[in-house]
Amino acid sequence: MTTFPAVHKSSQPAAVPFRQTLILGVVTALFGIVVLAWPGETLKVLGALVGLWLIVAGVMRLAAALGEHQALGRRMLTGVVGAVMVVAGIACLRDVADGVVVLALIVGLAWLMTGMSEIGIGLMTHGRARTWLTTMGVGSLVVGLVFVVWPSASLTAMILLTGISALVIGCVEIAFAFIMRREAATL
């Protein structure tokens, strides 16, 4: 029969501070409420952020194209991509709805590329790993296609899931803070 050593109060890990956990829970729950109350506004903010990101990334690419450490062809390609990114970013900021669609397309393309790479890697492996990777790859392709075909609906669903999950997590954190405070009082 195995016996376990007695746990002394001093050997227990420090409890998470009540106020810190409570504040984190309240902020997370409020974030969820705001996202759920104004999903359209949340999408507009995301669209504006995509526009800003495209401009900054484009300017960085343009700056890289001016450097002489790359071959001429690569510098030209980098410059063209940078210019397209800046123009797309300005277009997103002028019409934030376009920024939302661009965001959905970026997310969709990321899922599609992930799916293709998972399927490719899965086909090169054997056994259970092959099945899992191929299945995940097909799932990623499906999600990517949904984002590309229905960009607005996909982002709206993503925003709603974000709001719901933040609200639930925030409420759990608030409850956890009170549970931890009660347990700390009994020690």
DSSP 3-state assignment of 172? helix
Place of tokens 């030209």: 76
Decide if pLDDT at 61 tops 80. Answer: yes
Could you tell me the pTM of the whole model? 0.61
| Interior angle at CA 78, CA 57 and CA 43, nearest 5 | 30
Total Cβ atoms within 10 A of residue 51: 23
pLDDT tens digits for range 84-128: 889 888 888 888 777 778 878 887 888 899 889 889 888 998 888
pLDDT tens digits for range 124-174: 988 888 899 899 999 989 988 988 898 878 888 888 988 999 999 999 999
Q: Are 62 and 87 in contact (CB under 8 A)?
A: no
Place of tokens 């063209």: 80
